[in-house]
Amino acid sequence: MATSTSFQKRVKAKVRQIPGTKPSLYNNQLLISTGIPSLDTVLGGGVAVGTLLLVEEDLYGTYTQVMVKYFAAEAVTSGQSLCVVSADVDPNKIVQELPAPVVDDVPTSQAQQPQLSKGSGDADEKLAIAWRYQHQPKVQSAPVTSRFGHYYDLTKIMDESKISSAQIQCLSYKDLRILEETKPNSCTSTTNPCYASLLQRIQKQISEGNYGTAVKNDHRNVLRIVVQGLGSGMWGENGGAHYRTEERDASLHRLLLALRATLRTAFAVCLITVPMYLFQDPAFVWRAERLCDTVLRLESFAGSDKEKNPAFRDYSGLLHLVQLPCLNELLPHMPDTLDLAFRLRRKKFTIEKLHMPPELSETVSRDQEDPVPSLRPTAGCGTGSSKLDF
């Protein structure tokens, strides 16, 4: 029974902050960014470390591909390790086509340094007025070394030098097949061998890179795992039925559960995209969703009737929040509205609110005054100076 999980309360003073992370405002969890700041906001700040994020792909997978690239690019920009797995496309190609971060709004540390020293010099001078404040501790705004969440420009490609300096591992269909043939693991005959080799690779990487919570590590880093198109034809998934025998095949669900158990005791986050529209059985999809922590579904307008709907003119598709994680807390993050849409523009991909919800919540202070007083019927007869006085 492992008592240590990745959801450690931050009791001890951290010696060194893990790059690209921040603690959650709602619970004491370490969050990382998805690379899309608007999506982070919707999810309650970011994705908690040690959890499984499932994205149900849109038809053709166009927009999911963009999300995957953002997620991977954020790992490179914030100096985290990355592992890209894909059986459908070449994972190396995904890595080569990562979008470049927009660097203009981030002040470089060199530019910031003289400003800071100048500011502290001013403060050392004797105060002519308000001298009571002279002995007060000075507010030292710590220089921001690692920012949380970056903006990316989809028209530019990230520098090759940046990519080559990052810790990236790619697993293609071939790599998964090699393990399958040697079969070092003894899985049961109904278990999908591709899944077995994937799980084994991930577990190996976590233990070799010292990402486990049980391991003491001074230079702690977060491992981001991206599995693109899990459960597509290349993986040999058959929607819950074994492809050769009549038996049922719960391999995908067992993989998700095993991944969840693995991630819980590691400084790792896994993004899985699954083409759920391939599966006919809603129970199969529902069970898979229940085994993940955060579940998003992308619904693109491409080829659907919604494309012609004037209400959706500005958007590329809808984002459904199927499940939000409930970790270390009774009350999960509850966004204001679930009516969300995504938009892919030339340079960036954003999540936006479709429309505001009706103002019915208790938390919102409602203005009881009617904005148009002349139209408001008065309680008694002939008391007001209204035109409708009778």
Rule CB under 8 A: is residue 196 a binding residue for other proteins? yes
Residue with tokens 């001074």: 218
Rule CB under 8 A: is residue 310 a binding residue for other proteins? no
Rule CB under 8 A: is residue 222 a binding residue for other proteins? no
Rule CB under 8 A: is residue 362 a binding residue for other proteins? yes
CB of 137 to other proteins, least distance (A): 32
Chain-centre distance of CA 164, in angstroms? 24
DSSP state of 210: T
- How long a stretch of residues is the chain? 390
CB of 338 to other proteins, least distance (A): 5
Rule CB under 8 A: is residue 338 a binding residue for other proteins? yes
Among 123, 261, 311, 388, binds other proteins (CB under 8 A): 261
DSSP state of 248: B
DSSP state of 308: G
- The residue among 302, 342, 336 whose CA lies nearest residue 319 is 342
Query: DSSP characters for 54-65?
Result: EEEPPGGGHHHH
Piece of 101-109, 134-142, 295-303, 334-342 that binds other proteins (CB under 8 A): 334-342
Rule CB under 8 A: is residue 257 a binding residue for other proteins? yes
Among 52, 85, 98, 291, binds other proteins (CB under 8 A): 291
The footprint of other proteins on residues 5-24 (CB under 8 A) is 5, 7-9
Phi, psi of 223 (to 5 degrees): -100, 125
Cβ closer to other proteins: 2 or 375?
A: 2
Among 167, 172, 304, 328, binds other proteins (CB under 8 A): 328
Query: In the chain, where does DSSP find H-type helix?
Result: 37-42, 62-77, 91-96, 109-124, 160-165, 173-182, 193-208, 251-264, 282-290
CB of 128 to other proteins, least distance (A): 48
Piece of 174-182, 228-236, 297-305, 353-361 that binds other proteins (CB under 8 A): 353-361
Half-sphere exposure (Cβ direction) of 112: Cα atoms closer than 13 Å: 10
CB of 7 to other proteins, least distance (A): 5
Spatial distance between the Cα atoms of 374 and 14, rounded to a whole number of angstroms: 61
CB of 17 to other proteins, least distance (A): 21
Among 166, 199, 271, 318, binds other proteins (CB under 8 A): 199
DSSP state of 376: S
The footprint of other proteins on residues 58-117 (CB under 8 A) is none
Rule CB under 8 A: is residue 311 a binding residue for other proteins? no
- The residue among 268, 260, 329 whose CA lies nearest residue 295 is 260
The footprint of other proteins on residues 169-188 (CB under 8 A) is 185-188
Among 22, 150, 201, 264, binds other proteins (CB under 8 A): 264
Cβ closer to other proteins: 100 or 258?
A: 258
Is residue 57 within 8 Å of 65, Cβ to Cβ? Answer: no
**Cα separations in angstroms, 343 against 67, 178, 375:** 12, 39, 40
Spatial distance between the Cα atoms of 191 and 102, rounded to a whole number of angstroms: 44
Residue numbers at the binding site for other proteins (CB under 8 A): 1-5, 7-9, 27-28, 185-191, 196, 199-200, 248-250, 253-255, 257-258, 260-262, 264-265, 281-283, 286-288, 290-291, 326-332, 334-336, 338, 357, 360-362
